[in-house]
Structure formats: C-alpha cells, structure tokens
C-alpha cells in the first residue's frame, strides 16, 4: 500500500498542491484526472521522486519514506512510464531496460551481453512482447516502445521487496486503438504484480481501465469515485466545476453549408507512394472530418492538400482551378491554412512574439517594398487578441511561453487574419484542457459561419462526430465510407468504428 498524506507544494508563491491525500492499494488501478494546471504532473513528480514536497508524508506499507531522487523511489518500487518516450532510440532494447542497472551483468569490467539478453527476455515476457532484446529501439513501433518502457519499470520487481507502484503518464497518446487495447490487457494482467496510477486526457480510457478515480482541481482532490459509478459527464463536471456536456461541441450552432460553392476538390488523387485514390469535395462553410485509426493515411491527405507532398496522379482543384505546382508557399497564396498536430514544431515559432507569429504566413500584406509595417502588424494582433480572447500580457509576448490553448488561438488567428478560407486542422485540441477545447470548438463554428471550409482530423471520434457536417472514414489510405452528420442525425461511434477496422 502506498499513501500520500496532506501533501503541500509551492513554486515561488504559487500554491500548486493544497493538502492532497492519495492512497493506492496493492493491485489497484487508479485513474488520475484533472485539467492542465490542476497539479497532476507535480503530484506525479512527488510520487516518483523528481520533486520533493514542502509538507506532508509519503508512506509505503505504513512506513514513512523520503525520495530525494527518482532512484530512491525506484528502490522502494515506484517506477514511471514517461509520456515523452524515455527510451534512447539508438540503444538496443535490453540496454534500455537495464540502463543504469548494468551492474549484475558486469564481470571484470565487461558487460556479458548474453546474460543481459536472457534477463531482458524475462522482462519482455511479462508484457507479452516477443522481440529480440538486441533490437535497436528505434526500429520498434510506438506501441512496442511503450511496452518496453513498461518492461523496464517491471524490471524493478527483482530488485525491490514488496509490490510495485507504476505511473503511466498519457501512455495512449501515440497509440492506435488496437494498441491501446493491447496495453490495457497487459496492465490488467499485471495487477497481481503491481498497482498502477494511470493519467490520461481521454476520460473513456480512464473509465475503462481504472478501479477508482481521483479528480484534481486547482491543486486539491475534489472527488474520489469508483469507476463503475462514474461517467464521462460527471468526471468532466468535477474537473471543470460546471456542467458542460450539453453544449460541448456547439451543435446548436451547426448550420448547413453552401452546396453550390466548392472550395476544394480532390479528383482521384493518389497520395505519394500509397497507391490510393481519394476523391472529395469541400464546400464553403463545411466541416469535413477525416476519421480513421492511427496510420490509416489521414495526415498524408492533409499534407498533399497543403502542397507538402506531390500527388502521384489525379487532380487537385482549388476554387475550380487545377493546382499545377505543389509547395506550401503556393497553397498559402491560394488561401489554404494548415494547423499541424505538432504545434511546437510546425505551429508556433517560440522566441517570436504574438504579432510576428500571426503575420508570418502573410507578410506581403504588411510590407511595402519588403519593409515591414510593424504598427499595422501590432494593430492586427491586438484586434485578434480581443476577438479570440487570447490571454497574453501584450502583443509582444513570446509565443513559446503561452499555454497550449493560447498558442492554438494564435495559430488560428494567423490563418484567419490572412484571409485563408480553406483550413486544415490536424488534432487541433490535442493536449488542451477542456476550457481551451471549448474555445477552439467555438472558433471552428465561427469560421464555418463565415464560409470557411474546414478539413478536420479530430482528437477523438466524439469530437469528429460532434463538430462535422460530413465524415469520411479512411482505411488504408482510401475513403471507405461517407457519413452525413446533420444535427440530430449524427452517426454513432459504433457506426464509424465498424468501417475503420
């Protein structure tokens, strides 16, 4: 049994954790939920020893312990499976599993690889992974890597007495549905060896896996529920502190699109190297969701439309005109905006401020003879900061320091203010908390009302169903099925899934 009592933590004046009590029994799976900034990650860091609490105690099997480093925590059987994959990609699987614990395999200063491989196989067997321990980690799929990380933590078993406590931080974020199921079955099977703390933004997964659920809000535990008595709606209500589910996707604001105005047309387009054949039409005011499992070929379609990939065959027409040269600059010039999944890499230039980010794709509108008109840029930024209620001190704020939701708003403002009327959204709400998600949904409705055509790859199926006018189910790169999503006549999750897999 692992217990936290009255944990306090402050970061230079900010009260992050306010007297948190937390208990996990042997073999139990605890779900931990909360909005961004509720204190989840700080709590986790205290549990695995990366951060020390200011007040309160940690007890393992009734004895008070202090963790000065993650290694201390490991010695007491607490292990962390990191959200950012923590395996070193150019090392082999076994080296990763025993990284920092090679001692038992060393004889006369040399590592006995055979012995290490045997030991690694034992660990991999625990998670049901049948791979050669000498495989270079970068060759594995994301799901396999996740399992290797789990195996790495399970290797603690041999080194500590008593049961393990394993933290899973957003382990499903990079996995497909099948892989998630596999991971869950492994976790369930491992109950007799360890107890788990499971952190995820996906409440359906939390409900499916956990025994009990801790809800954190503003640094305090606001509720502990048993999973079978909980529902997504009740958890959300606890997290946000108000009822939100009804208006969540703003379905009331979904208005029919203009059928006569085709903004974008793909006519038997073959995405580079995939040998598929995609045809679709995007109308003014339409939200078209591409739905499919991870790796089904949704992103390459978006990237083709944006000109980052050159199609093998077929025609792409923007407002009726066939596209001949494929490059992002060409697409931007023709009114296409792209909001990528990796916001930090492709969405926001950190180090540049708000107005610089906003005008990046449309600088020709703010220059005269390539000299910038900075006051006009600032005016634009102030206008959109107001319009989208972006929370920034001023238009000079560095975008790298903004919260995820505000960054996303800046990216949206960048394309909208540039007059783009075809917007490609790749996971626009990934990693955002509920409040910020709602803002993004509202913006999508606003754009739709302004006659903007939107192609969406949603974070969840519910999101896709809730937001879109039309859904295309993609499998193996091809569109398998079209769904019409008028309010009141939306397809169910089940309808979609049977075409996805």
Partner 1 sequence: MNRFLAMETLRKWVPLLVLAGLCLFFTAMNPHFLTLRNFARIAISSSPALMVAIGVMFVILMGSIDLSMEGTVAVCAVLFALTLNALGGSIAGRGWVAIPVALFAGAVMGAVNGLVHVRLRIPSFMASLSLGFIGIGLSLLITGGDRILIDDPLFRSLLTVRVGGFPLMMYAALACLLVAWFIQDHTTTGRNFYAVGGGEELARASGLNVGRLRIIGFVLAGIFYALGAIFAVARLGIAETETGRNFMFMSITSVVVGGTALRGGEGGVWNTLIGVLIVNVIGNGMVVIGLADYFQDGVLGLLVITAVWLSTDRRSLSFVK
Nearer to partner 1 by C-beta: 22 or 366? Answer: 366
User: Residue from 361, 417, 468, 470 that binds partner 1 (CB under 8 A)?
Assistant: 361
Minimum CB separation from partner 1 for residue 84, in Å?
11
Nearer to partner 1 by C-beta: 361 or 468? Answer: 361
Query: Is there binding between residue 338 and partner 1 (CB under 8 A)?
Result: yes
Query: Is there binding between residue 88 and partner 1 (CB under 8 A)?
Result: no
Query: Is there binding between residue 331 and partner 1 (CB under 8 A)?
Result: yes
Query: Is there binding between residue 262 and partner 1 (CB under 8 A)?
Result: no
Eight-state DSSP code of residue 346: I
Six token digits for residue 346: 């492709």
CB 213 within 8 A of CB 206: yes
Query: Is there binding between residue 86 and partner 1 (CB under 8 A)?
Result: no
Question: Other CB atoms closer than 10 Å to residue 490's CB: what's the count?
Answer: 18
Minimum CB separation from partner 1 for residue 359, in Å?
8
Query: Is there binding between residue 189 and partner 1 (CB under 8 A)?
Result: no
Nearer to partner 1 by C-beta: 7 or 332? Answer: 332
Minimum CB separation from partner 1 for residue 370, in Å?
5
Which residues in the 129-148 window bind partner 1 by CB under 8 A? none
Six token digits for residue 233: 């709606």
Minimum CB separation from partner 1 for residue 292, in Å?
22
d(CA 494, CA 95): 42
Minimum CB separation from partner 1 for residue 481, in Å?
30
Eight-state DSSP code of residue 491: P
Query: Is there binding between residue 396 and partner 1 (CB under 8 A)?
Result: no
| Size of residue set near partner 1 by CB under 8 A | 37
d(CA 241, CA 121): 47
User: Residue from 65, 131, 225, 352 that binds partner 1 (CB under 8 A)?
Assistant: 352
CB 92 within 8 A of CB 135: yes
d(CA 153, CA 125): 13
Minimum CB separation from partner 1 for residue 63, in Å?
35
Nearer to partner 1 by C-beta: 48 or 366? Answer: 366
User: Residue from 88, 374, 449, 493 that binds partner 1 (CB under 8 A)?
Assistant: 374
Non-local CB neighbours of 108 within 8 Å, separated by 6+ positions: none
Query: Is there binding between residue 3 and partner 1 (CB under 8 A)?
Result: no
User: Residue from 55, 273, 351, 419 that binds partner 1 (CB under 8 A)?
Assistant: 351
Nearer to partner 1 by C-beta: 308 or 464? Answer: 308
Query: Is there binding between residue 265 and partner 1 (CB under 8 A)?
Result: no
How many CA atoms, within 13 angstroms, populate the side-chain half-sphere of residue 489?
6
Minimum CB separation from partner 1 for residue 69, in Å?
18
**What separation in angstroms does the CA of 98 have from each of 33, 53, 87, 88?**
31, 29, 11, 12
Nearer to partner 1 by C-beta: 284 or 332? Answer: 332
Q: Give the interface segment with partner 1, choosing from 105-113, 170-178, 327-335, 493-501 (CB under 8 A).
A: 327-335
DSSP string covering 135-193: SBGGGS-HHHHHHHHHHHHHGGGGTSSS-EEEEEESTTTT--HHHHHHHHHHHHHGGGT
User: Residue from 327, 389, 394, 498 that binds partner 1 (CB under 8 A)?
Assistant: 327
Contact letters for partner 1, residues 287-316 (x by CB under 8 A): -------------------x-x--------
Nearer to partner 1 by C-beta: 195 or 361? Answer: 361
d(CA 443, CA 249): 11
Total residue length of the chain: 501
Minimum CB separation from partner 1 for residue 376, in Å?
12
Query: Is there binding between residue 378 and partner 1 (CB under 8 A)?
Result: no
Query: Is there binding between residue 356 and partner 1 (CB under 8 A)?
Result: yes
User: Residue from 88, 125, 255, 333 that binds partner 1 (CB under 8 A)?
Assistant: 333
Lookup result for tokens 């998670």? 127
C-alpha radius of gyration, the chain, whole number:
25
User: Residue from 50, 131, 293, 360 that binds partner 1 (CB under 8 A)?
Assistant: 360
Nearer to partner 1 by C-beta: 13 or 488? Answer: 13
How many CA atoms, within 13 angstroms, populate the side-chain half-sphere of residue 417?
32
**What separation in angstroms does the CA of 222 have from each of 9, 107, 245, 279, 372?**
17, 53, 19, 49, 51
Non-local CB neighbours of 284 within 8 Å, separated by 6+ positions: 257, 258, 261, 263, 421, 451, 452, 453
Minimum CB separation from partner 1 for residue 332, in Å?
3
- State the SS3 of 241-264: CCCCHHHCCCHHHCCCCEEEEEEE
User: Residue from 41, 279, 367, 460 that binds partner 1 (CB under 8 A)?
Assistant: 367
Tell which phi-psi region holds residue 318, choosing left (phi > 0), alpha (psi between -120 and 50) or beta: beta
Local structure of 216: helix, strand or coil: strand
Query: Is there binding between residue 12 and partner 1 (CB under 8 A)?
Result: yes
Long-range contacts of 321-326 (CB under 8 A, 24+ apart): none
Query: Is there binding between residue 384 and partner 1 (CB under 8 A)?
Result: no
Residues at the interface with partner 1 (CB under 8 A)? 11-14, 306, 308, 327-333, 338, 340, 342, 344-352, 356, 359-361, 363-364, 367, 370-372, 374, 414
């Amino acid at each position: 049994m692992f217990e936290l009592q009255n944990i306090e933590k402050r970061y230079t004046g900010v009260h992050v954790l306010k007297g948190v009590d937390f208990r996990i029994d042997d073999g139990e799976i605890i779900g931990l939920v909360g909005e961004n900034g509720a204190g989840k990650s700080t709590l986790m860091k205290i549990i695995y020893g990366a951060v020390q609490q200011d007040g309160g105690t940690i007890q393992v099997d009734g004895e008070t312990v202090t963790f000065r480093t993650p290694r201390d925590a490991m010695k007491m059987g607490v292990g962390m499976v990191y959200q950012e994959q923590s395996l070193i990609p150019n090392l082999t699987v076994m080296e990763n599993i025993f990284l920092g614990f090679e001692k038992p395999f060393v004889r006369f200063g040399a590592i006995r690889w055979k012995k290490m491989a045997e030991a690694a196989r034992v660990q991999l067997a625990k998670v049901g992974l049948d791979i050669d321990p000498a495989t270079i980690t970068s060759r594995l799929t994301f799901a396999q890597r996740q399992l290797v990380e789990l195996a790495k933590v399970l290797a603690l078993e041999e080194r500590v007495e008593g049961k393990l406590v394993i933290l899973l931080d957003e382990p499903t974020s990079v996995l497909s549905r099948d892989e998630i199921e596999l991971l869950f079955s492994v976790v369930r099977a491992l109950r007799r060896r360890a107890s788990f703390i499971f952190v995820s933004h996906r409440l359906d997964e939390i409900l499916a896996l956990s025994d009990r659920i801790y809800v954190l809000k503003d640094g305090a535990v606001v509720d502990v529920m048993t999973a079978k008595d909980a529902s997504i709606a009740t958890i959300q209500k606890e997290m946000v502190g108000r009822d939100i589910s009804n208006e969540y996707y703003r379905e009331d604001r979904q208005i029919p699109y203009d059928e006569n105005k085709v903004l974008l047309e793909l006519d038997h387009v073959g995405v580079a190297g995939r040998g598929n054949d995609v045809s679709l039409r995007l109308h003014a005011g339409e939200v078209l969701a591409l739905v499919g499992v991870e790796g089904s070929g949704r992103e390459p379609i978006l990237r083709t439309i944006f000109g980052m990939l050159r199609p093998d065959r077929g025609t792409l027409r923007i407002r009726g005109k066939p596209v001949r040269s494929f490059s992002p600059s060409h697409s931007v010039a023709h009114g296409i905006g792209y909001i990528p999944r990796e916001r930090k890499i492709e969405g926001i230039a950190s180090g540049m401020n708000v107005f610089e980010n906003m005008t990046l794709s449309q600088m020709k509108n703010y220059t005269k003879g390539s000299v910038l008109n900075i006051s006009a840029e600032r005016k634009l930024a102030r206008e959109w900061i107001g319009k989208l209620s972006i929370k920034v001190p001023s238009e000079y704020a560095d975008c790298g320091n903004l919260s995820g939701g505000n960054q996303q708003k800046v990216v949206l403002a960048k394309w909208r203010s540039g007059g783009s009327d075809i917007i490609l959204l790749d996971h626009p709400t990934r990693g955002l908390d509920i409040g910020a998600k709602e803002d993004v949904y509202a913006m999508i409705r606003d754009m739709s009302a302004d006659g903007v055509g939107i192609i969406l790859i949603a974070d969840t199926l519910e999101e896709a169903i809730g937001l879109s006018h039309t859904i295309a189910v993609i499998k193996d790169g091809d569109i398998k099925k079209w769904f019409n999503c008028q309010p009141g006549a939306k397809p169910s999750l089940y309808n979609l899934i049977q075409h996805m897999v």
